[in-house]
Structure 1
Amino acid sequence: MHEPWRTCGRTLCAGVRVRGDRCLAHLDPSRQDQYFEGLRPGAEVDLRGTELSGDLVKRLVESIRTEDGRAEFGRADFTDARFRDPVRFEKVTFARTSFKDARFGGEAAFSETLFHDEASFRATRFARSALFADVTFGSATFESAEFAGGARFSRAKFAGGGFQFTQFNGLVAFDESVFVDDTNFREVDFGGDASFAQVEFEGKVQFSLVSGFRGEALFREARFGGEASFAELEFHGKVSFEGAGFSGAARFQSARFHESVTFERGRFGGFAVFKGARFHAPVSFESADFVAAELLGPAEGIMMTFAHATFRKRMVIDVVAAEVYCGEANFEAGVDLRTMKANVDLTRAAFGKPSTIAGRGLSSLRSIREVDAVDLVLTDLDLSSCTFAGAHHLDKLRLEGECRFLVRRRRQVLAEDPRFGPGTGSQVGPQRMADLYRQLRKAQEDSKNEPGAADFYYGEMEMRRHSPATPWSERVILHLYWLVSGYGLRALRALATLAVLIAVVSVSIWLGGFKTTPAFGDTLIYVAQSTVSLETKLSSLPKDLTPFGEVMRLVMRVLGPLLLGLTLLAVRNRVKR
């Protein structure tokens, strides 16, 4: 095979000649000593194709070390070199260097190394771990390089552009590193965990990976100065952007997340693009700060958490998820929350401007406890398990579309009602429940839902009737009101009571209401006419009533119209819209 350099005279050795016809590895000891003695700081080194032991590398570095402890290379060429032992290029300065096609059989340490000019690690193979801690790169490429044992670039600084990485089979860590210019991780394969904790990307960054992140992807407290794109990536392991800051747009459109994801305490200074993203495990935006974002979604997930998150601008959240938790979230300019098949929890959420919570496909609202509902609109939501205790201005709550409450005994009730099981209702007393029913009745009336308002009126009266705080005299009246007409909401009960009253009064008047005893049928007609204040025209009835008869007639004149009125009121409450 033709070699681009004059190779060593030893058979099968591809090392470049440095003395006579021998490479550095095959020089006799005395001539090796002469080679190293001839080197000075800043010397150019050509060791292409040479097989270098750990001892030779150590002597090479020490021979060009300055008084301040740093070793300085001029142009250094290690193309196709073979490093069979662990090697250390620590505290070394390279003017321009190439490790193209080099092979590192042991650990390779480049800690605190400075690459002034172009550094090429194209197609380099690292069989063991590669350490680039505290390294500064002017311009570097790792195109087609393979890190079989993991790589650490902790606190590295990538000052120039054009960085290219290819394949990481083990753990790769860029913790606390700085990328000064725009960065593109194009067609990189992260076979293991990837850590970018506290990394600072001063320009744009784009990840367009071959197989996505196959291990964990950790971006804790990373800082993205420009646009950050993770579009269409697949994350197979856990993902963490906890405390990360996005100054520009954060693009996750059509990304796939198979394990849990966290953006807790993250700051989105630009757009947050999650259109088409799918979360196959819980995702958390707890305590995140959305400064400029106005849209999140449409996205799909299992459980999405926005607890304690702050939204500075009016937000549209469009998600398909089983659980959506917005406890103590702060929507400063309001929100349009659109959910499908989701259980939504708004406990202690704050809405600075008018907001809408809209459901599709059996979405349910589980709680609006301690929420100020003055500008809140609920649309097409299942409220059968929703808890309202502690909410403010429920009378201003707007209910639109098909909002369904829990149904018991053919009436809408609240899930907290203590009449229907211990559950959450056991923590809310009758007096507080009466207030909840009263406010929601007003909300139903404003929504022109008279039957719903009637149901809540019934619940309110029931709570007042059972409340120990209600005076006993008022409770007696409420019991009678419930007994005879179901608080003016049971038409059949009022009619039955009226029928019983007519029968009892008819018998009483027939037996002792007239001075002579008429036919019972005539007496029944007379009492029925008295119910509606009509004068009888029956000639067969006696004209004079006894004092007892006058009292009975007066009772019918008062109670008859009252019961008729309650019957009509009950019918009206059921049919009015």
Structure 2
Amino acid sequence: MPHPSSEPSPTPPAWPHCGHGTTPVDPVGCRGIHVPGHTACLAHLDDTDRDAYLAGLTPGADIDHCGTTFTQPLLDALLDALRDPATGHPHFGDAGFGSATFQGRALFGSATFRGDAMFESAIFEGDAGFRLATFEGYAMFGSATFQGRALFGSATFEGDAGFGSATFQRDAGFWSATFEDYADFESATFEGDAGFRSATFQGGAGFGSATFQGGADFGSATFEGDAGFRSATFEGGADFESATFQGGAGFWSATFQDYAMFGSATFQDYAMFGSATFQRYAMFGSATFQSDARFGQAVFEQSVSLGPLVCAGRMKLSGAVFGGPATLSFAARRLECRRTRWSSTAELRLRYATVDFAHAVFEYPLTIAAEADPFVLPDGQPVAEQALADAPDATVRIASLRGVDAAHLVLADVDLSGCLFTGTVHLDQLRLEGNCSFDAVPPRTHWGRWRPVRFTQRRTLAEEHHWRASRPAAVRGWNVAVLGTGRVGPLQLAPVYRALRKAFEDGKHEPGAADFYYGEMEMRRHADHIPRSERSLLTAYWALSGYGLRASRALGWLAAAMLITIMLLVGFGLPKDFPKQEATGTVPPGGGKVTFEIDKADPQNPTGDRFTGERFEKALNVTLNSVVFRSSGQDLTTTGTYIEMASRVTEPVLLGLAVLAVRNRVKR
């Protein structure tokens, strides 16, 4: 297929050209540069002059045949003239083949270019063979067209290798090639397969805006410098299995229209996949990221399997879109999934990671679970986690769920002690599986400003820690908010506690629900918008029984109330003595009918020594009956009657609060 550059150009070249074969359509004619000492190019010299010129060449000579058209016999004759008898391979000094046309096979295999090799805009109509060739200077193939196969297997490029805007219409083979300096493939087009398997790029490698219409095989390739694939398009499969990126790997805005394989790849510096598009499968199993891995704004249109992989830095997925089922298995220090969108089911199995899931959107069930043991590869071997050897433990921590609709969210075995929940929607439908831990209040006895303070142990939210730590005269032990977390108060925290309480109740976890009920009541008690009367009532409820959840507190108040009742009864409620009944009657003369009146004297207020064992026993009997809302039937003074009435109201209530607290702690 002819290339557009093969059409005649009305512009003459910059060098003195042959001009042979001019026509009205092509007034410039042959564009081959003059052979030194002649006015024609090598292709149009007469046989005698050509033979003389070739006979005068020696291995390592500089040549310049820009714009010349080489038939295969002519090229073979030139190569033979430059062939080193010792090695049997052609040796060039500076070689100028810019805009040259090679009509047959161009076989430069094992050739050595000691100077610069200039093939810009050259056209290779047949196969171009540079296998085992050595380019000691620049190798410039910019805008060249390879209509046949381009074979550079095991070639060595000691200087810059320039293939920018080159077109490879058939397969391009750079297997095991070595690029010691910068390799420029910017805007190159590979219409066939591009083979770079086991190639070594010791300098930078630029494939920005390159187009791979066939398969792109970079398996086991080594990039010692930065590798740039910005805006590259992979229409066929992209295979980077076991590739090593010692410098940065930049795939910004790259498009993978077929599968993208990065299994067992190693990224020793940053890996940039921001805004990349994966239209089919994306697989990163066993990949290792020794620094940050950035997939921000990436689009995964179909199923994606990221992992199991290890990331020693941050795994950044913020803004990414997952259009198909996603399975993510990461051992990473931090996972950032802010504003991600999940349009299908997804499972995130993690180790070590702190997860920021703020404002993520998902329409189907999504599970975030901690993995207790190292991930296992298909061959049964565990994933190596040496890059995370300095991590304290493999605990997975959720940093934020703000702005998330939790109706389809499942959390399993994760640490929620630092999680920010304010602004989460449908938090009452959140499912918590396994051991999901929350933060706790400071130690039971903690020193305040002037005295020791005792805190009731319970599950609590990180945001309550932040609020309490920010209050004037805050007690030490509450965690201070880090920069950027924002500030919320009791008004915002009360509904969060309420929603989590319902989530625990739906999960039949009553003790956990009780802790969040306690937190809800605490926030209501401290909220400024609650009327003072209601806050006073809540304060009394808290003081008497810890909102009906602290049995020890209710029992303590009950014991105190009973003791006070006993002391009051002994001192004022029991009479001085307990009068016997008296019978009086009138006997009519003659032994008639006898009538008896039974009367009882009024109890007398006590005097003298009131605190005796007998009086204590009677007071205890009255008090114990009052606890169970019964009357003892004991004779009491007027004051004692009112004391008993008060105790029959307060003490059963306190006993009921204690029973309620015990029930809330043991109910399942």
TM-score higher than 0.5: yes
Alignment counterpart, residue 70 of structure 2, candidates 66, 70, 73: 73
Q: Report 1:82-93 matches (<5 A).
A: 82-85=91-94, 87-93=95-101
Distance 1:109 1:130 in 2: 6
1:449 paired with 2:509, answer yes
Name 2:563's counterpart in structure 1: 503
Provide the residue aligned with 2:145 in structure 1.
136
TM-score, reference length from structure 1: 0.86
Counterpart of 1:28 in structure 2 is: none
1:195 aligns with 2:206: yes
Contact 1:304/1:321, CA 8 A, preserved across alignment: yes
Larger CA deviation: 90-99 vs 168-177: 90-99
Structure 2 partner of 1:560: 651
Amino acid at match of 1:40: H
CA distance in 1, matches of 2:36, 2:436: 88
1:39: how far off? 4.2
Which residue matches 2:420? 387
SS at match of 1:322: strand
- Higher mean C-alpha displacement, 557-566 vs 100-109: 100-109
Deviation at 1:306, TM superposition (A): 0.7
| Residues 45 and 500 of structure 1: CA distance in aligned 2, closer, same or farther (over 3 Å) | farther
- Summarize deviations over 1:253-286 as a string: whole Å, max 9, x none: 1112211111111111111111111111111111
Post-superposition shift, 1:45? Answer: 7.8
Once residues 259 and 155 of structure 1 are traced to their aligned partners in structure 2, the CA distance between those partners, rounded to angstroms, is 28
Deviations 1:224-253 (A, max 9, x none): 111111112222111111111111111111
Match of 1:465 in 2: 525
The 5-angstrom pairing of residues 220-235 of structure 1 reads 220-235=230-245
CA contact (8 A) 2:103 2:126 kept: yes
Comparing 41-50 with 346-355, greater Cα deviation is found at: 41-50
Match of 2:246 in 1: 236
In the other structure, the counterpart of 1:532 is 628
Instruction: Specify the alignment match of 1:169 in structure 2.
Output: 180
Counterparts of 1:307-456 in structure 2, within 5 Å, are 307-360=318-371, 361-408=394-441, 409=444, 410-417=457-464, 418-419=467-468, 420-423=478-481, 427-456=487-516
Counterparts of 1:42 and 1:456, CA distance in 2: 99
Q: Please, which moves more after superposition, 99-108 or 288-297?
A: 99-108
Indicate if the aligned counterparts of 1:42 and 1:73 stay in contact, CA closer than 8 A: no
Separation (CA, whole Å) in 1 of partners of 2:324 and 2:154? 44
Q: Which amino acid aligns with 1:450?
A: E
Look up the match of 1:40. Answer: 44
| Cα offsets for 1:166-192 (capped at 9, x unmatched) | 221111111100111122223322222
- Partner residue, 1:65: none
Amino acid in the other structure paired with 1:423: A
Asked whether 1:154 is paired with 2:164, we answer: yes
Counterpart of 2:264 in structure 1 is: 254
- Looking at structure 1, the residues matched to 50 and 263 of structure 2 have their Cα atoms a distance apart, in angstroms, of 48
> Are the aligned partners of 2:155 and 2:174 in contact in 1 as well (CA < 8 Å)?
no
In 2, the alpha carbon distance for the partners of 1:471 and 1:562 equals 25
Question: Counterpart in 1 of 2:286?
Answer: 276
One-letter amino acid of the structure 2 residue matched with residue 265 of structure 1: S
| Residues 42, 553 of structure 1: alpha-carbon distance in 2 compared, 3 angstrom cutoff | farther
TM-aligned CA deviation for residue 454 of structure 1: 1.1
Q: Is the 8 A contact 2:462 2:479 kept in 1?
A: no
1:491 corresponds to 2:556: no
| Distance across 2 between alignment mates of 1:52 and 1:294 | 53
Q: Percent identity?
A: 38
> What is the TM-score with the length of structure 2 in the denominator?
0.75
CA-to-aligned-CA distance 1:1-58 (integer Å, 9 cap, x gap):
xxxxxxxxxxxxxxxxxxxxxxxxxxxxxx964694784299998859744755x52x
CA distance in 1, matches of 2:198, 2:666: 67
Q: Secondary structure at the match of 1:300?
A: strand
1:14 matched residue in structure 2: none
Report the AA paired with residue 361 of structure 2: A
Hey, what does 2:589 align to over in structure 1? none
Residues 629 and 649 in structure 2, CA contact (< 8 A), matched pair in contact too: no
Residue pair 1:41, 1:71 contacting (<8 A) in 2 also = no
Q: CA contact under 8 A between 1:306 and 1:325: conserved in structure 2?
A: yes
Deviations 1:86-110 (A, max 9, x none): x432222221233334332322222
- Tell me the amino acid that sits aligned with residue 564 of structure 1: L
Which whole-Å CA distance do the structure 2 matches of 1:483 and 1:466 have between them?
14
* Structure 1 residues 41 and 188: CA distance shift in structure 2, 3 A: farther
Partner in structure 1 of residue 590 of structure 2: none
> Helix, strand or coil: the match of 2:539?
helix
Measured in 2, the distance between the counterparts of 1:458 and 1:180 equals: 68
Contact 1:42–1:72 at 8 Å: present in 2 too?
Answer: no
Alignment-mate amino acid for residue 401 of structure 1? G
1:289-334 per-residue CA deviation (whole Å, 9 max, x = no partner) reads 0011242211111221110000001211111111111111111113
C-alpha separation between the residues in 2 aligned to 1:283 and 1:34?
60
SS at match of 1:521: helix
Displacement of 1:573: 1.7
C-alpha distance in 2 between matches for 1:178 and 1:45: 36
Residue 490 of structure 1: CA displacement? Answer: 1.3
CA gap of 1:328–1:132, structure 2 versus 1, over 3 A, is same
Mapped partners of 2:197, 2:561: distance in 1: 89
What is residue 542 of structure 2 aligned with on the other side?
A: 482
The residue type equivalent to 1:382 in the other structure is: D
Q: Compared with structure 1, are the counterparts of its residues 496 and 138 closer, same or farther at alpha carbon in structure 2 (3 Å cutoff)?
A: same
1:353-388 C-alpha deviation (Å, 9 max, x unpaired):
111111124211111111111111111001111111
Give, in whole Å, the separation in 2 of the partners of 1:367 and 1:147: 50
* Paired letter, 1:380: D
Tell me whether 560-569 or 526-535 shows the greater mean CA deviation. Answer: 526-535
Mark the CA change 1:42 to 1:374 in structure 2 (over 3 Å): closer, same or farther: farther
What residue in structure 2 maps to residue 286 of structure 1?
296
What is the identity, as a one-letter code, of the residue corresponding to 2:170? G
Q: 1:243 to 1:122 in 2, by over 3 A?
A: same
What is the aligned-residue RMSD (CA, Å)?
A: 2.5
Structure number, greater radius of gyration:
2
Q: Tell me which residue corresponds to 2:125.
A: 116
